[in-house]
């Protein structure tokens, strides 16, 4: 939930390159938003409390965890207001995802001159032990920003995720190098390490957050951001409400703080 729709303007100016990168990341990092976990022969720990299986166990507010989707499991919905995202598990270890901002842009522009945006990827997960999981994947796509001197932005990324904990309380470390280039920008390699976590405090709610930084200056300057919010859930839906704080390292301005909202439908 990196970017709210209002991020298109920042201090009255057109969207800056680092916000464009965050926007791309909000599409490239949809995360798996449906139930996931160990093979069916091992019931999830949550069942011991009489709770239903956590339908958001495979994602953070922005990034993914290394927990896998079940075969045939999936989700669809709005991520951070702007991105329409969907993901489905092809097996107990492999899932594919797709995301676009075209739906929201089409409503904002009355279905006239809608910019192209489409990103897709594949994730492969592997449990290393009962509490330790590893995942890796590749994603890429293109986003037409419609902004002067930025125009179309493209990105390709690979990533690795290490998650420790249970479906209801876990920490995830993600390392994501990505290559980004645009109409007026030659290709540049950047990297985004991220640490995130989630704790389920009740059957239908919990808290989540992430911190990340981009220490390599590429198509945007170096920047860091953090998210924090509450997650509400049912068996077939989830709602995230939170905030994103972002700061470019070389700026002397105060950090930008934006609200975030995500609503997703899940199926098994």
pLDDT digits (tens, 9 = 90+) for 251-267: 656 788 889 889 999 99
Evaluate if residue 42 carries a pLDDT over 70.
Answer: no
Q: What is the torsional sign of CA 157, 66, 95, 88?
A: negative
Q: Would you give the DSSP letter of residue 66?
A: S
For each of the domains in the chain, give its residue range(s) and CATH number, in order of start. 5-40+53-267 (2.40.160.40)
Chain segment 133-171, per-residue pLDDT in tens: 999 999 999 888 766 555 788 899 999 999 999 999 999
Per the prediction, the chain carries an average pLDDT of 79
Residue 149's pLDDT is what? 56
Indicate the range of 21-30, 48-57, 109-118 predicted with least confidence.
21-30
Residue 132's pLDDT is what? 97
CA distance 234 to 256: 32
Residue 34's pLDDT is what? 32
Reported as a pLDDT band with limits 50, 70 and 90, residue 188 is confident
Chain segment 96-117, per-residue pLDDT in tens: 999 988 777 676 666 666 677 8
Residue 55's pLDDT is what? 87
Q: Tally Cβ neighbours within 10 Å of residue 186.
A: 7
Evaluate if residue 40 carries a pLDDT over 60.
Answer: no
Contact 62, 25 (CB under 8 A): yes
Q: Which of 28, 24, 79, 29 lies closest to 219, judged by CA?
A: 24
Partners of 98 in the beta sheet?
Answer: 86, 120
Q: What is the torsional sign of CA 15, 223, 142, 92?
A: negative
Indicate the range of 18-32, 70-84, 146-160 predicted with least confidence.
18-32
C-alpha separations of 173 from 14, 49, 144, 196 in Å: 32, 27, 30, 7
Run of H or E residues at 28: helix 17-28
């Amino acid at each position: 939930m990196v970017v709210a729709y209002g991020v298109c303007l920042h201090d009255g100016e057109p969207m800056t390159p680092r916000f464009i990168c965050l926007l791309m990341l909000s599409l490239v990092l949809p995360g798996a938003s449906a139930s996931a976990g160990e093979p069916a022969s091992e019931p999830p720990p949550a069942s011991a409390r009489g709770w239903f299986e956590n339908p958001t166990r495979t994602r953070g507010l922005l990034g993914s965890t290394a927990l896998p989707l079940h075969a045939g499991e999936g989700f669809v919905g709005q991520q951070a207001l702007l991105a329409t995202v969907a993901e489905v598990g092809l097996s107990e270890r492999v899932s594919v995802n797709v995301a676009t901002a075209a739906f929201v842009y089409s409503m904002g522009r009355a279905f006239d001159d809608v910019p192209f945006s489409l990103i897709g990827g594949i994730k492969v997960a592997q449990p290393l032990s009962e509490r330790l999981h590893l995942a890796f994947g590749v994603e890429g796509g293109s986003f037409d920003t419609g902004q002067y001197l930025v125009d179309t932005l493209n990105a390709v990324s690979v990533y690795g995720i290490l998650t420790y904990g249970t479906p209801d309380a876990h920490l995830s470390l993600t390392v994501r190098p990505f290559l980004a280039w645009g109409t007026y920008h030659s290709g540049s390699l950047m990297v985004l390490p991220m640490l995130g976590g989630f704790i389920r405090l009740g059957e239908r709610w919990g808290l989540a957050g992430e911190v990340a930084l981009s220490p390599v200056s590429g198509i945007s300057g170096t920047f860091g951001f953090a998210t924090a919010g509450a997650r509400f859930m049912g068996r077939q839906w989830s709602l995230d409400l939170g905030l994103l704080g972002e700061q470019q390292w070389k700026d002397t301005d105060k950090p930008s703080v934006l609200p975030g909202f995500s609503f997703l439908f899940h199926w098994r």
